[in-house]
Amino acid sequence: MKTLNDLTKGQTARISCYLPRFTAARRLMELGLMPGTLVRFVKAAPLGDPIALEVDGRHLSLRRVDAAQINVQSV
């Protein structure tokens, strides 16, 4: 299964679920990264981490290690 960390610039995906035991899941859901939400990969920082995402018209930055804990489906 693909994770949010696997997306490339401009790709859009739908969040399907969080991996079990991911302790930051609750915090990310409070920021709008809920299962079923569409997310667009905007860009990565010059050294590749963190990444910028667009969620419901807002931009969020997320560490790649955290993005690798979120499963997505391509749309």
Partners of residue 35 on adjacent β-strands: none
Residues whose CB falls within 8 Å of the CB of residue 54, separated by 6 or more in sequence, listed in order: 39, 40, 42, 60
pTM, rounded to two decimals: 0.88
- The number of folded domains in the chain is 1
Let me know if residue 54 belongs to a domain: no
Domain encompassing residue 2? 1-40+70-74
In this prediction, the residues of the chain whose per-residue pLDDT falls under 50 are: none
Let me know if residue 30 belongs to a domain: yes
pLDDT in tens, 49-63: 999 999 999 999 999
Let me know if residue 61 belongs to a domain: no
Residues whose CB falls within 8 Å of the CB of residue 44, separated by 6 or more in sequence, listed in order: 9, 50, 51, 52
